[in-house]
Structure 1
Amino acid sequence: MNSLNEDISKELAALTCRVLDHSLTNEEDVRLTEILSEYPELIEDYTNQIQVDAVLTAELYAAVPEGIDLEALEITDYPTVATEELATDPGRFVSLWQSVTVVSVVLLVGFALWLNAGWWDVKPVNQRAAIPEPVPVALQYVGMLLDTEDAVWEDEELGDDIAYGTRFAAGKKLWLKSGIGRIRFESGAGIVLEGPAQIELCSPLNAKLNYGKLAAYVPDEAQGFTVDTPKIQIVDQGTRFGTVVDPLGKAEVHVFEGEVDVKPQSAAKMLNLKASQAVLFSRQNELGAAIRLTPAKFADVPTLEQLTAAKSGFYPPVEAIPFDSEEPRNVYALIQMQTALPKGILAGEAFEYPATSLSGQTGGVGFSHEGWWADANFTRLVVPEQIMEWGELEAGPMVLQSRGHHHAYPALAHRIIRKLETPLADDFYFSILVNYEGLDENDFFALWFDDSPGGKGASHSRVPNFGLKEKQFFARFDVNQEGFFSGPVDGETFLLVGHVSKEDSSSFNRLDFWVNPVDDRSGQPDVVVKRATGAKLLNSIHSLGLRIGQYTEVTDSLCIDRLVIGDSYESVTQPSE
């Protein structure tokens, strides 16, 4: 630990003591909040100290005999032990002899009772106690993890990446260091947790949020679902609500639909909050003060379809959602196949396989031997009614078709992912043909480039992304660093070209993007985005993938073909020979 962190830890310890003895000033309160915000790794130490103090206090009060009020006791209430020197006079020896006589009589009486009871003739027996066989205790599961978004957990048993569908027993404590996690309770209630956060899953109808951000959807069957915080208790009455709790116990409650009852620890009565109301509870105002309702502060709660699908005890759903039935024509289409990939490229994929599933396919150029990961429920290799083309660029006889997002499935709708054979450490270009059907304001897809394929809960939202958002083509490093260009036309094929480069940097920091470029426009991109604070620092690219937005209708169709990566603009825009 460096000297700065050591000084901060000492300052935090001193402020924690002030909190525990209720002597924290307003200025110290502000400073405590600053430390915990700037050094989130100290939050656990702080909350552990608060919890230990609470446990010790509770045990102390539990050990006090009934009728004794610790708060009312004063120093003078305790008995005083008086000391007195014994005088050495003749009476002292008489008193001593009397004491010895009394003790002897007591011993004789006790011995006589022992003889009369017949204890002396009882035969010794083996005193080994029979040890009962342990009875296995069935775990009571109270919740299940539905999905995550860039979640990093701190869990000795489950690690930092908890699998979807993991079930949690009563009393399970979860620490979400960052990101988002959605959980379904056995009662039917669903919550979304945003880190840093610490929560205990107490029962199907109860959770304890020590700190963090939580939003809940509570259907009628789970009415009465309760969230306890260090300072308040929130009892749902059939609603959607959110709460934000900081490590000091300060809490916000926002009611989006229905109503909740809130019981502050310091108040005798509950406060009833209805839809569109929000209240802040703090040390300065323990009974609550009205604040502005801010739904945008909270992530999306689990969908009703997710909660219904998880009732089976398994998640995500295992059954496939079939495409419209049609006769496979892939084998026939490939009889006269001529690859759509140009020569001299770094990597490329024309999606030309005799199968209908891309999952596990190892073809293409410049990709890892491990093959493609693809979501078989939502992707397929298909022969289109019309070959995709733009200008002189013509795709092959097959395309990869992806569908939109089904609300019973995890929010992050990854469709395909694959590793590269050789990482891209220098500037590179790419191109891809796309065709979208079912276009509206909510649609989203993105081709991303990252240094790792990540897990199912990795959004890849802080790395180079190119695609469609809000009916416009876009390029971005993250949601705060993005550029837009005119959008697609429903059902038409577009050529997207991108350049990912290192501009006077050891990491990729510039994106150039072209939509349907004509002739040589390498120096005239439609969109330029430069990386700023917040995006991930990438020195090399190891993987790429495609994902669909969570609000994209499942009936939408995205077809892609002729994915090409090269070291120049010309290499990715030239037709195949």
Structure 2
Amino acid sequence: MNPDWDNWIERLKSADLTEAELREFEESVRKDPANRDAYLAALLAETSLEMESLPHPFAKGNPKVIPLPRWPRLAGIAAGVALLATASYLAGLRLGGKTGPTPVGGHLATITDADRPAEDAGLRIGQPLEKGALKIPDGSEVGIAMRGGARLKVRGPAELQIDGPDKIRLEKGRISTYAPTYAHGFTVDTVDGKVVDLGTRFVTATDAQTGTEVHVLEGLVEARAGAATPFQSLKGENAAVLKGGKLEATEFLAQRLLVPLNPVLEDRDGDGFPDAVESYYGTRSDEAASKPETLRFEESFSGYAAGGIYGVKARALGTPAGRAWEGAGTFQDEGLSYSMEKKRLRTSGGSVRSTGETGVGALLRIDPMMFPPVGVSYLSFLMQNPEKDAGGCFAGLLLYHGDREELFIGKLSTANSYGSRLKQSDAQDAYGLPLDDKPHLFVVRIDRTRLVTDIFVDPVPGQPESSAKQRFRYQDVPMVDRIVVRSGRAGGLFPSVFDEIRTGLSWESVLPVAE
């Protein structure tokens, strides 16, 4: 074989190979380490490959992405091996076979990415995978390019069986699949049923207790729970679970790959607090009588002298000793009140009024223990704006982590509606609730296990969470170490009033009912 690697790279990129030439190339780089090293060296020098990498399995919109300059050597190798796998498939299509050429030496897939735990387990970038079982270690993520064209990202612990260039069997674990148009028909079998791709991005998660979950990020899949049941279509941003011969809708989780196989956290003593949360707060997880306080922070704004907030020590429950308010705003003696369906929220008098200047807010640095790293936590607050139909205004409470805005909830600046924005997004999400001058109660539910954030507006105090309907859901969660309240208006002032900021570990703790 002529070792003109630059020429081979160009021909691989353009799929300008006969089947015989492709087989010759694969045999050469697979069996001879010297040839493989020479090919990879030439590949790394071919910088244009970075602009022609395969689509990332999580990317939305335009499927071609420019890889980040992290671990350039590994990224270059991964791109080259993935490109080789796709070229093999395309060559097979061009030569008349829908499933690609017969794999050389049983080679059905290639590892395109492997982190340190995977490498320690003997899984290497560039390693060919033949038919048979594959185990991914706990805490690891591995990328796989199938010979049929699909790209997989597997999160450990996982056990799977590679059955063909376009078929796997998932015994346990989570797999994210991206199957472009030419890879239609990629199939994931599990003990609970079968999932067939029709050109999409989806995550499959299988566990003995929860069954098989399918979360479709975009596109379309067909799924069935057993050979005796018909296939059913599942579209983007929907999810279903296969179990016991049935396919039923379930909660869609865009980041299901990162969510534990069983997202129900263990609660050994049955006191309603997961063991991990109890351990986080230093209480015993095996004794029901030992449990953390549900109300973690409460700022009622009562007891402050009327006037500026800057440098005033915070009186809020759960504030670290000596912590003071920063920024600008004014404490007021009169507080806000809120009631719904004859149920009144407990309030204590006092409030804070923003300056109404764009970019100026009142800030309090909070205890990082306020929000546990797993499980569910809540935040609530009251807000009242000064007038209706004020053009170009905004007002809200913001959660920050360092200097980064993580979540804004309140009156949007881009629409005459209450709404929110997550992580400095360009998009502001309106709820269809026009601006008014009434007090409103906002509740934020942050689920750090399922990685979702739900926002509720004007729920009924004293009613269970199950009776409230979320206004908006984000498929992500904010990080929080400070709370800011502020408002503003283009070409003028728009001072708003905030009251009763609470965080807690239960719905009831942040929505106390007045006696």
What TM-score range do you get, normalising by the shorter chain?
0.3 to 0.5
Larger radius of gyration: 1
After TM superposition, the score normalised by the length of structure 2 is 0.39
* Length-normalised TM-score, structure 1: 0.35
